[in-house]
Chains A and B, each alone.
Chain A
Amino acid sequence: MLSCVRSYFIVNAMFIRVESSTLFIHRLYASEMDVLCINRSYCTDIPGNSNGNGSDDNPSGHNANGSYNGNGHDHGSDNRSDNNANGSSNDDDDKTYNPNDAKKFATHLFYMEWDELYKLIVKESYSDPYAGLRLAEMNFTNPYLGCSDATKITYGVMKLLIKYIYDTGLEYGKLTLGYKESV
């Protein structure tokens, strides 16, 4: 009987934690300014849940040098102790904002998008049609990249800029962005 009651409370506590994480993600994407009031336990849980909910399809990461392992933990700036590790949700009134939590979560979101973009890229190249013009391009594979996916497109453009354009001693430059589609 005692173990049944204990299990009931553990399951309830886990449910509350998952609900809280989901709510937090929704609120962040909805750009509510409540992001300033991140509950520490939410942020601690979210990166760890990434492999469970299927949002990160590349748990091993794409890096050979181990700079990213797909869990979103490596790029955090600290290793805080998780005060809520036992599943209790009694710190709901702890609304202090910790910038390191926001950075860790932003890192996790960045690598989710970055990995998805990485899987789509099949070819990157550049050419210099004449002195003073550089054309850098990348091609995607099926299922291609949706025009509405502004974040991944922006990451792709920045990837091209960092890889092929940015250089020391850059004196003058303007860039135009182009899309390749098919009919």
Chain B
Amino acid sequence: MKIKSIALTAVAVASVVASSAAMAQAKEQFFPVLVYRTGAYAPNGVPFANGYVDYLKYVNAKGGLNGVKISYEECETGYATDKGVECYERLKGKGATVFQPLSTGITFALTDKAPGDKIPLITSGYGRADTVDGMSFKWNFPLLGTYWTGADVLIQHLAKKEGGYDKLKGKKIALVYHDSPYGKEPIAALQERSKMHSFDLQLLPVTAPGVEQKATWLQVRQSRPDYVLLWGWGVMNSAALKEAVATGYPREKMYGVWWSGAEPDVKDVGAAAKGYNALAMQHGAEPNAKIVKDILATLHAKNQGTGPKEEVGQVLYMRGMIASMLAVEGVKRAQERYGKGKVMTPEQARWGFENLALDQKKLDALGFAGVMRPVSTSCADHMGASWARIHTWDGAKWGFSSDWYEADDSILKPLVRASAEKYLAEKKIQRRTPADCQS
């Protein structure tokens, strides 16, 4: 027994020592892929991861980044902050270009570490809402939207539905949210709007992972809000819809954030979820997009796709794919400055993300016609675009049910600024100078 335990410890020590030996730096652009394919959030994490990886494979199949091949490695985080940090520490040493944690909790943890390690973070549609301010957060890129823009667009849509902001006065809006940094993030923006338009905001937290919601929906039934905003993730979304069905709350009055409006959330409930609306951060389910057809032809036809064929074009798959595309385009933009056909360092890639200029022509050429609107970032604005639409589940698929909205910067900018200043003061970091932007 003694020998066995000695042998076990020896193997453990040897393997750990071996791992700390530096990996050879290949002439490839390395993308770490933080995923969660297990645990309570897996149903939503898996299609996102598949979309992300599929796009990377697609880029390689089309010749890479101006000739530079992409290499990637998946790391399982299980939506847990400590595992996310551990993945980060392990993969950053391999020349990671950019991290996309797909978890607001992990984003908060990495926001502190990334500047020290000089690796950019893309948090497209999640993360800290105040990181839009690129002058305060040099290394964070909440491309395409944050929870504050999402909340803002939802209120705009509801006002439009009611016939004007003045009609919102006296209405009751309930927020059923995941009790975590993710779920709490929109509260500040919603409270601001609530003050402006005098509607009643009822906050109903659901303890993670959000499977038990009976009491929450009994409260919804008793207070009879005019609208329910759903800010859930993973299993919480379908549980919410099932409880809504069970308490008879009309699904047409429910509006989910873009992380609560995808197939895994509704397919279990099926026809009973008909009428449920959700935000679409520019894209929705896009089975007819050119890029989808390209990927099916290039990868899935040759059995090289990650994940099943039926998933390609679904909402979360598209989200992952677009996140991947933004990362790739950012690196390509960096190559325009630092050398086409060369491997970009994370700092160079950061410049690329800060100077993204994807106009409609470029997006169409990439295959995103009708799916995306132009994205252009700058030193002060790390978000690049805040377009969103509403899509509705008709019992079998998602279909767009509104025009394009853009978040109201006049309301959000002061909030962002205040929050960013608070962060800088707490961390004793100086705001960036305009000169720094040119570097």
- A and B: partners? no
- On B, residues with C-beta under 8 Å from A are none
- On A, residues with C-beta under 8 Å from B are none
